[in-house]
Amino acid sequence: MVILITGASSGIGKETARLLSSKGHVVYGAARRIEKMDDLRTYDVKLLSMDLTDDESMTSAINEILRKENKLDVLINSAGYGSLGALEDVSISEARHQFQVNVFGMARLIQLVLPQMRKQHSGKIINISSSGGFFGEPHASWYHAIKYAVEGLSDSLRMEVKEFGIDVILIRPGSVISEWISVAIEHFKSVSKHSAYKDSITSHIKMLEKAKGIVGLQPIVVAKTIQRAIFSRKAKARYTIGKDAKALLILKRIIPDKIFDKIIISIINK
């Protein structure tokens, strides 16, 4: 199989590139900074420079893969970042940038690969969502809005491309141990220096720092789920991963919203 993975410079993307390449597949790893993927050369991963805010960069990368391989079987959209902060504190320009990277960039890449997948009458598009795609939390409005958008986009796309033999699959991990959270915390602190929500934000940051590097799934667990989804004859539309994600999903379905809100706030204020 020929597989393209975005966000291969760290976390889930990097671990998935390692795993799938070690199984003998032709894997292209893409990220803005190629030097952060240098260790993947050991696994024979082919490296591509790609910026999800730059159309020419994405077009060039897809053209290179098709020129060399003449097909593309799987696209794994793992690239993205989270930027925390109260809605009132985060600038609209920062919010737009988050959507550009996490939603519009992903959507544009899907547009670029679909003609080849339709020609093949086969393909899998795997979008990395999150448990944050089915509930909200304070100080993360934009992050959750993005994940809800990824969920809705994927649901609609799945029905559009079904007739062409293309699968669209959502991967919904709960907390994952990666550098993502460190970056998110630093931005959270930066935008919250003069926040009207200082007290609740202080508690939230303390909770995140306490959990950092300790609480959550190892990226390899998510990578193995992605592998299972790719090679399943009857892949699910969604794979929810992690005890925290599964518990929250059950609660969200069975209890009133305002009680669910209280539970989320109590977790943050621990």
Active site residues: 143
* Integer-rounded Cα radius of gyration of the chain: 19
Q: How many CB atoms sit inside 10 A of residue 218's CB?
A: 12
Of 162, 152, 160, whose CA–CA distance to 235 is shortest?
162
What are the structure tokens assigned to 75, written together? 């696209």
Torsion of CA 60, 93, 153, 184, to 10 degrees: 90
| In contact, 14 and 36? CB cutoff 8 Å | no
Which DSSP symbol is given to 9?
A: T
Q: 46 by DSSP, 3-state: which?
A: strand
